[in-house]
Structure 1
Amino acid sequence: MEATVASARRRGRRLVWALVVAGIACAWARQVPFRLRAPHARQVFVCGSFMHWRCMALRRGRHGVFRRRLAVAPGLYEYGFRVDGRWRLGRHAPRVRDGLGGHNDLLVVGR
């Protein structure tokens, strides 16, 4: 019984520490606008290393411009867009090699 209680306390302390660190990261995060003009697209997602390569849907706006603002912590990141299932890069961001024979856009978020 005592081992279970001690284990639960350790897990609780780790959880509190993780929440504190996440709160600090969120306090430093910047709202970064992502935008892609794709007038014929049905779905557009932004995927990047700042989200561990998970994708977030962008919202269709006027004239086929998809947009979304995301909170991103300061750092150097790679990202791209998934347009109707195909990988696509933006027009204005610098590009870097992805190490797999392709390219990604580069995002620099300052403090």
Structure 2
Amino acid sequence: MAATNRGRRGRGWVSIGILAVFGLGCAAAHEVPFRLYAPAARKVLVCGSFAHWRCVALHRGRHGVFRRRLAVAPGLYEYGFRVDGHWRLGRHAPRVRDGLGGHNDLLVVGR
């Protein structure tokens, strides 16, 4: 879904290790904020089709909010959060059926 440009590096996204969309200088990518309130969690990851379902760790912020901004190319994506090993969805995103009897959050990134 995402076009990449291997000729230059994008704004420091190489460190997160998602090569399909992040870190390769995708010119049309938008910074998308991911946030999840999980005060009792030790580890929160965001996993989505925008990264071929590879998971990226979110950073613990104040008051139990985990967050991270990721560069995502324009498109329609499904995603969710892995909280201490358990799948969880956000509170405000629209949901779609995942085809396996569950649901995922829906992310729409414009051009």
Q: What is the number of equivalent residue pairs in this alignment?
A: 94
Q: TM-score, normalised by structure 1?
A: 0.79
List structure 1 segments (4+ residues) > 3 angstroms apart after TM superposition: 22-25
Amino acid at match of 1:96: V
Q: Deviations over 1:14-72 (max 9, x none)?
A: xxx9626x899711000000000000000000000000000000000000000000000
Pairing 1:75-94 to 2, within 5 Å after superposition: 75-94=75-94
More helix per residue: 1
Looking at structure 2, the residues matched to 52 and 60 of structure 1 have their Cα atoms a distance apart, in angstroms, of 24
- Aligned partner of 2:6 in structure 1 is 19
Q: Deviations over 1:73-104 (max 9, x none)?
A: 00000000000000000000000000000000
Looking at structure 2, the residues matched to 67 and 105 of structure 1 have their Cα atoms a distance apart, in angstroms, of 16
Residues 25, 109 of structure 1: alpha-carbon distance in 2 compared, 3 angstrom cutoff: farther
Alpha-carbon RMSD across the aligned residues, in angstroms, is 2.1
Residues 24, 59 of structure 1: alpha-carbon distance in 2 compared, 3 angstrom cutoff: closer
Amino acid at match of 2:72: V
- Aligned partner of 2:52 in structure 1 is 52
Unmatched tracts of structure 1, length 5 or more: 1-16
User: Structure 1 residues 24-33 or 43-52, which shifts more?
Assistant: 24-33
Question: Percent identical across equivalent pairs?
Answer: 81
Unmatched tracts of structure 2, length 5 or more: 8-20
Indicate the structure (1 or 2) with the bigger Cα radius of gyration.
Answer: 1
Q: TM-score, normalised by structure 2?
A: 0.79
